[in-house]
Amino acid sequence: MWEFFGVGTELGMEERDLMVFARNVRAFRALRGWGVRELSERAGVSTKTILKIERGEGCTIRTEQKIALGFGAYVGRLWDPDLLSDERERLIRRDEGRWFFAAVEDAEQHLRRLIQAQPELAETRLRSDPDEIQDEAERHRLGHAGLSRGFVKTMGGGMSAGYFQYNLGEFFSRDVTPPDAFGYTYVCHLLRGGLRMSIRGRVFEMEQGDSVVFQGDDEYWLEPSVPVPVGEKPPMVHFVCLGVLKLPSR
């Protein structure tokens, strides 16, 4: 792990299997019944770029985020090598999944700070799920320092019935989520701390053990009920989508 801006071991984007991302973008397009042009319009990305991605040539983390938002998905789902699976049941271990910055803007600012401290990284396209934030102490250091509003751990996966969405989230300040555009129903279950949630003008004050079930077709935000004191852990939630997304066959 990095200690402040020390040397780290994060893999660059080019060191990941770009064909996994390419295959999953094609799979999600098929799932939605979209052509390249419709994805282009929804994601705000050129058709040329989408075709390049689907050939396995990769893109920037900003473009990845646009593609994911176009699908109403987290970026981590598009990097899941097990997205297409024939398994009928799965055991999810507690150490599975990866932590991402909840907001791409925070990931970009993190990258800029790293480049300022280590200019040799200027040409490296770093991930929005860098290895150092897989460490709880580093996530909490960034959150308490006001350098990230929160983090999301993607734990969803593929099985024969389709793709299930299952995430953990930690929040230090207000994080806004745009509408998913598909009307899925979600359960937000508070595992730790106190959390405030607002959707469609309603504000819910949640305590540990409480849940909110909601349609995600409108923007909503989450924030700690009270500022998180330095040295204490932030509120943590489970997000589960009450629907399995049917994926095309391999």
* Interval 158-205: pLDDT, tens: 788 877 888 999 999 999 998 876 778 999 999 999 999 999 999 999
Residue 223's beta-bridge partner residues? Answer: 196
CB 250 within 8 A of CB 84: yes
Average pLDDT of the residues in 108-136: 84
Q: Where is mean pLDDT largest: 5-14, 139-148, 177-186?
A: 139-148
**What are the backbone dihedrals phi and psi of residue 18, each rounded to the nearest 5 degrees, phi first?**
-65, -20
Give the domains, in start order, of the chain with CATH numbers. Answer: 13-102+150-250 (2.60.120.10)
What is the Cα–Cα distance from 215 to 217, expressed in whole angstroms? 6
pTM of the entire structure?
A: 0.79
Element (H, E) at 154: strand 150-154
What is the Cα–Cα distance from 157 to 145, expressed in whole angstroms? 32
pLDDT of 249 = 61
* Model pLDDT for residues 205-238, shown as the tens digit of each residue: 999 999 999 998 899 999 999 999 999 999 999 9
pLDDT of 144 = 98
Identify the CA nearest to 166 among candidates 89, 97, 108, 65.
97
pLDDT of 152 = 95
